Amino acid sequence: MLKINELTYSVENGIIFNKLNLHVEKNKIVTLLAPFGSGKSTLFNLICSNNADNGVINCYNNRVFYIPSVPIAVKGYSTAQNIKFYNKTIKDNDIDLVLEKVGLAGYGSHVPQLINSGFLFRLTIAIGLSLGSKLFLIDDAFNNMKNKSKIEIIDFLRVLLKNNDISIFFGTSNFLEAIFLSDKIYFAKAQPMEIVAQKDITNSNLTIKEKLINNDFITCRNEIEQEIKKHNLYNLIV
């Protein structure tokens, strides 16, 4: 779905990436766990533009949809109007179908409030699905969510992945978000960004409630915490 090979990129202030390697497999959620200011947003923008100094960014002709840390919803527009704003040719029946996929069936005429971050996130996913996107880049999009909404969204994304032919590349500095959401985590230092470790998550398809009591998952989480300590990644949010 996405392969980044030997990616190098620099700006006037210095090197951001130096021979970075990442792989996001089909129907998986892969997380880049890296500190604030390490270049996660820059990486997502490079994936969208494929404008690196050296190296290869290969999305295999899949449509990429970038979800930034701030909502993309148009203030004062209804849910359906927001989808039509980004997808001019979509039909009303197709809007209903995509809203059902994200748990917003019946909310087409609803005007979302910009403080309702969980609703806005689902709406943003609906916009991406309506455009036929296959690879979703999620950039620290949970920062403004309350814990209850965050838990609901993480479980929602696991179900979405199961029922749709998509992949997700998630960037965060929050260890708990990464461990509960992902199938795989890449651990990175800054700067330049360097992958120092990677870890597949045991029983990643379980709900958060199930993960909290699953012994194999708990063991996996403890191993990841040790990996963070090993590489002195103390500036991550734990």
Q: Name the more confident of 235 and 161.
A: 161
Q: Map the chain to HEC letters.
A: CEEEEEEEEEECCEEEEEEEEEEECCCCEEEEECCCCCCHHHHHHHHHHCCCCEEEEECCCCCEEEECCCCCCCCCCCHHHHHHHHCCCCCHHHHHHHHHHCCCCCCCCCCCCCCCHHHHHHHHHHHHHHCCCCEEEEECCCCCCCHHHHHHHHHHHHHHHHHCCCEEEEEECEHHHHHHHCCEEEEEECCCEEEEEEEECCCCCCCHHHHCCCHHHHHHHHHHHHHHHHCCCCCCEC
pTM score:
0.92
Asked whether the beta carbons of 35 and 25 are under 8 A apart, the reply is no
pLDDT digits (tens, 9 = 90+) for 204-223: 999 999 999 999 999 999 99
**With bands split at pLDDT 50, 70 and 90, how would you rate the model's confidence at 61?**
low
**151 pLDDT above the threshold of 70:** yes
